[in-house]
Structure 1
Amino acid sequence: MARAGGPLLLLLHMLVPMMAKVELILSHKGIGETCDENTECQSGCCVINSLNPQKFCTSQTVFLQCVSWQKPNGYQCQLSSECRSNCCVTNSYSRHRFCTPKTIFLQCVQWRKPNHDHCWHHRECRSQCCLPLSEEARPRCVARTGILAQCLPT
């Protein structure tokens, strides 16, 4: 009898860790609980849902996707993908970039210098016109002129 108990104990000893794994798999975290990976959540979604870098279990979209929170307009950003508008641009002389709305034509337009500011290239200016006002002068942003609104020296 002692021999029959040995293999049974050995079998039980092997099954206990396997049963613990099954319990671990069945005990997924619910919506709103902190997580590190998608596999921890019942929904299969572990994402950032605010400015806080901590991840939380969230529900999937109608298309069964896990979508991270994105910054609204006005928040500082580095990449367009960080913004709800998918538009991260400078909005002043500062080097900082901010989430900004797209135009009615769904374009993401960079901030440009106003007329009379110094410039090096046409694309820096709101008028898209960067010209030296004299031969010795450094170029400045100037208004377009003429019937066809061309970039012409005045």
Structure 2
Amino acid sequence: MARVAWRLLLLLPPLLLPVQAPGFQGGRKRGHKVIREPCEQHKECRSDCCVTNNLSPQRFCTPKTFFFQCRSWSKPNGYSCHEHWECQSGCCVRSSQVPLQFCTSKTIFLQCTPWRKPNGEFCRSHSQCWSQCCIRLSRISALRCYARSGILAQCLPLVSPPTPSSQGSCARG
């Protein structure tokens, strides 16, 4: 009986050792890289996810998202950008008179609102003005941004219509 117990104890330690699946070495697939290791293609990574995760062009193995997608690092608000997809917020717009674009947060209505010119600034279209009102005050003046006016907040000029005496003098000339 003692001999049988002793033999069982000799067999027990190998049973308690962790069993590694075939193809794995030291906690990783043979030939596959783990999270944070540099890579060039998805298939190099254990997670099948090789993306950029900061401003440098270097790519690294990263875990997949909750929805099993590979998501590249994107720029936070304040970083310069050229396209919406570059930003975490998905919003790349001009934020001042400087022609550069920056990542900015979306409005509460999930819109990207670019910077617009204040009242009094020269403009070419309504969309360039904060007031959405780009008008000429007279026939010879330049287009400028002006506040909306009237009961219905329309884009109306602030000048009064010409008087009959001024029309007559213009007609003669």
Indicate whether the TM-score tops 0.5: yes
Q: Given the alignment, which residue of 109, 131, 135 partners 2:139?
A: 135
Cα offset for 1:27?
A: 1.3
Q: Given the alignment, which residue of 116, 120, 134 partners 2:120?
A: 116
**Residue 153 of structure 1: aligned partner:** 157
Cα offset for 1:76?
A: 0.3
What are the within-5 Å matches in structure 2 for residues 32-111 of structure 1?
Answer: 32-111=36-115
Unaligned stretches of 5+ residues in structure 1: 1-22
Cα offset for 1:62?
A: 1.5
Q: Please state whether the residue corresponding to 2:51 is helix, strand or coil.
A: strand
- One-letter identity of the residue aligned with 2:96: S
When the two chains are superposed, the root-mean-square deviation of aligned CA atoms in Å is: 1.3
- One-letter identity of the residue aligned with 1:118: F
Q: Which has the higher contact order (CA 8 A, sep 6+)?
A: 1
Q: Distance in 2 between matches of 1:50 and 1:136?
A: 53
Unaligned stretches of 5+ residues in structure 2: 1-24, 159-173
Deviation string for 1:79-133 (max 9, x for gaps)?
Answer: 0000010000000111110000000111111111000000011111000000112
Q: Distance in 1 between matches of 2:102 and 2:154?
A: 31
Q: Please state whether the residue corresponding to 1:149 is helix, strand or coil.
A: coil
Percentage of pairs with the same residue: 56
Q: Please state whether the residue corresponding to 2:85 is helix, strand or coil.
A: helix
Moved over 6 A (4+): none
Count residues in correspondence. 131
